[in-house]
Chain A
Amino acid sequence: MERKIRVIVAKPGLDGHDRGAKVIARALRDAGMEVIYTGLRQTPEQIVQAAIQEDADVVALSILSGAHNHLFPRVVELLREKDAEDILVFGGGVIPDEDIPFLKSKGIAEIFGPGTPTSATVDFIKTHLKRA
């Protein structure tokens, strides 16, 4: 039987809305993935626990508040502490271009800005999964 790709969609930090995250969740669902939606105002600790308990292949983070340079790397760090660096982490939201190299150096696989076609996200997941 074909293994389903499981994705956590989470919003770390104090953003007030999650429209973008829900659009991504829908697109991944329509691509046949199982999306675990954890909702707003999540701490990195909550996100990482969810990723582990849900046996996720991917953690997709969305942030609009500007705290990405702190919160995104923290998620990767905690996953590493839990021996779960085989989970692919990528992000999206409102992220200035100049921050992207820093985030990538911290283990965020990719950053998708506003206007990215959802198909690009789906393709990225399918080609970059770390788990067989």
Chain B
Amino acid sequence: MIDTLAHRCLDGDPRAVARLISLLEDGDKDAFGTLAALVERMGQAQVIGITGPPGSGKSTLTDKLIGEFRARGKRVGVIAVDPSSPFSGGAILGDRLRMQGHATDPGVFIRSLASRGRLGGLSKATAFAVRALEAAGYDIVIIETVGVGQSEVDIVKVADTVVLVSVPGLGDDIQVIKAGIMEIGDIFVVNKSDRDGADRVVREIRAMLETQAMLQRGKSVDAGPDTLAARNSELLHHGQTDLRPETLPMREVYNLPPVMKTIAETGEGVPELVGEILAGFERARGSGELKTRRHDAIKSQLKDLVGWQVMDYFIDQERDGRLERLAKSVQNRKIDIYSAARELFAALIQGEKR
């Protein structure tokens, strides 16, 4: 039954795609097995991540992006992630609400997923749901993350292009130089740009990006005279880390990510945004950056999968009561928690060898 599911997926049957995504989300091992049948189509779709704080207009923007990609003849798959309740495990998935205008278009497939306890802004199987949509022939896959705060950055592990949506009125300029979410944008969008303060947000983001570029240039080969690289010997003299250019990751030419203004409600700025998304993708493909990025993405997905398998195996093994016993020992101060963990891990490895 599972094999037919894969083939129906390749034929673009929406029911099959929908069911496969559910099974992947539920962690069904057979369903993960079907991914083998989808391998040949892997990498054909351009995967676009839309991320930003709650209420910044991600869903409305996604709705308009679907329209624009459709006008350009692309088939569009959408994965929209909303949070699960930490208490009941239930969820209200409301992103689709804004996109229902496209529901009956056969060139569009919209799927809502609940985060189910994952904290990185995506659900556990988002990366694999992308494979199902891609196999069914969607040229563009848009992933809308949950409304993010400052550190939900899992989207970089999945998307070819990350669009970071911001809005006026969220805070002062120190917000944009913090680590985390502001570091992952390939394209920055200031949405609701008819509101007061939009130009200021654009300026602040640009300033942040320029500083970042300067710092990175300071470390590159074609750095000017007054840079960290040039001062390397001096720094070494003061006992600091070796900063010779060849020891540092090199960047070819540093292009500043674009900062664009949109009004998603009316669609203003959306055609330009789509133009930039497509052009940036082509540039990344030409320069080899896309290849590197996808390689890194695959590596981190592999780590995730191995991690889950180890955890599943651990939970299987755990039936012998060792976890329970060690937890008690830790509580009774018979053993420290780190040693207990080491003992559990050792038992896990032993179990595998048996």
Contacts and interface: CB of A to CB of B under 8 A. Distances in A.
Interface of A: 1, 3-4, 6, 25-26, 28-39, 42-43, 45-46, 49-50, 52-55, 82-84
Most buried by A among B21, B93, B97, B111: B93
Which secondary structure dominates where chain B touches chain A? mixed
A55 B90 contact: no
Given A29-B90, A29-B92, A37-B92, A42 B100 contact: yes
Most buried by B among A25, A30, A38: A38
B21 A30 contact: no
Contacts of B93: 34-37
A38 B96 contact: yes
Interface stretch (B11-19, B248-256, B257-265, B346-354): B11-19
Contacts, number: 86
B304 interface: no
A-B pairs with lowest CB-CB distance, top 4:
A29-B90, A55-B18, A46-B103, A39-B97
B91 A35 contact: yes
A53 B90 contact: no
Contacts of B89: 4, 32
Contacts of B84: 34
A32 B18 contact: no
Contacts of A53: 14, 17-18, 103, 109-111
Contact of B90 (A3, A32, A42, A84): A32
B325 to A, nearest CB: 26
B90 A28 contact: yes
A38 B100 contact: yes
B114 interface: yes
Interface residues of B, number: 30
15 contacts: A3-B22, A4-B114, A29-B88, A30-B88, A32-B90, A34-B84, A34-B91, A34-B112, A36-B93, A37-B94, A37-B97, A38-B103, A49-B103, A50-B100, A50-B103
A52 B112 CA distance: 12
A98 B212 CA distance: 70
Contact of A35 (B90, B111, B116): B90
B273 to A, nearest CB: 25
Nearest to A2: B26
A29 B84 CA distance: 9
Nearest to A37: B94
A31 B90 CA distance: 7
B180 interface: no
B85 A29 contact: yes
B18 A54 contact: yes
A4 B104 CA distance: 25
B27 interface: yes
Given A29-B91, A37-B96, A55-B21, 19 more contacts: A3-B22, A3-B26, A6-B22, A29-B92, A30-B85, A31-B90, A32-B90, A34-B114, A36-B93, A37-B92, A38-B97, A38-B100, A43-B104, A50-B103, A50-B110, A53-B18, A54-B112, A55-B18, A84-B15
A81 to B, nearest CB: 12
Contacts of B109: 53
Contacts of B26: 1, 3-4
Contacts of A34: 84, 90-91, 93, 112, 114
B88 A54 contact: no
